[in-house]
Amino acid sequence: GVSHTDMIRVADLNAEIQRRNIGLQAADKTAYLRELAPKLEIWIRPVALRDRLHELSNKTNQFNLSLSRLDEVTVDAYLHHPDKFAVAVGLSDRLTDSGIVGAMFGNIKDNEIIVEEWVISCRALGRELEGLMAASALRALASEAKAATFRYKSGPRNSPGLDWLAKSSGGALEYEGSVSITISTLPAIADLPINLTIHSNERS
């Protein structure tokens, strides 16, 4: 049968044609986003979304920075360990509800953030919201944090993610390693016509 995720994917493909037309007609990015009216949702440690977080880590290829392919036990550890975190990112706009499209996993202690895995579903790409998603997740995790270290690994298909990382960090990437991103250089929700909802520490 056709899964709920498959139905969302088809709706997103149809909506993408409309988004491109809006993008061609919009005067600038702000006008484009105002027309789309995107809504971002951030879930911090959402135990109820474990299966989707696991699925994103294993099925995402283009925007997958470290290609960790986390198993369910490891995802559980990120959800429950006090020094670890898992974040889910949801995205919708006036054309379609894309559902949970992003997953971030890492370690956090005393406002020091290490992102060990950051993935975004390909159906959420092309709206230039990758930086805002990352910034919103990081600020929700630790509002006082100044920077975050992102781990990465080159693969045959993840150049879209690595291109974003290189641009955001301002440095050239090697085959594998880690780079720091100053959070204040990422897009801020206050500067854009986007609705943001944060669900924090939902360990249930």
Task: Report which of 145, 130, 141, 137 is spatially closest to residue 65, judged by C-alpha positions.
Answer: 130
User: Rounded CA gap, 21 and 16, in Å?
Assistant: 9
Amino acid, single-letter form, for residue 189: I
Q: Is the pLDDT of residue 94 over 80?
A: yes
Q: What is the pLDDT of residue 103?
A: 99
CATH topology of domain 4-199: Aminopeptidase (3.40.630)
Name the pTM for this structure. 0.92
Q: How far apart are CA 47 and CA 69, in angstroms?
A: 18
Q: Which has the closest alpha carbon to 85: 40, 31, 43?
A: 43
Q: How is residue 105 written in tokens?
A: 């996993």
For 36-91, what is each residue's pLDDT tens digit? 999 999 999 999 999 999 999 999 999 999 999 999 999 999 999 999 999 999 99
Show me where the domains of the chain are located.
4-199
Q: Supply 69's token pair.
A: 């392919």
The model's confidence at residue 178, banded by pLDDT at 50, 70 and 90, is very high
pLDDT band at 17 (very low <50, low <70, confident <90, very high): confident
Interatomic CA distance for residues 122 and 101, integer angstroms: 8
Mean pLDDT value of segment 15-31: 90
Are the CB atoms for 79 and 203 separated by under 8 Å?
A: yes
Q: Write down the pLDDT at residue 201.
A: 66
User: How does pLDDT run across 123-159, given as a tens digit for each residue?
Assistant: 899 888 999 999 999 999 999 999 999 999 999 999 9
CB-CB contact of 175 with 155 (8 Å): no
Which residues are 168's β-sheet partners?
none
What 8-state DSSP symbol labels residue 91? E
Q: Which residues contact 176 (CB under 8 A, 6 or more apart)?
A: 152, 153, 154
Q: What is the pLDDT of residue 119?
A: 99
Residue 204 has pLDDT above 50, yes or no: no
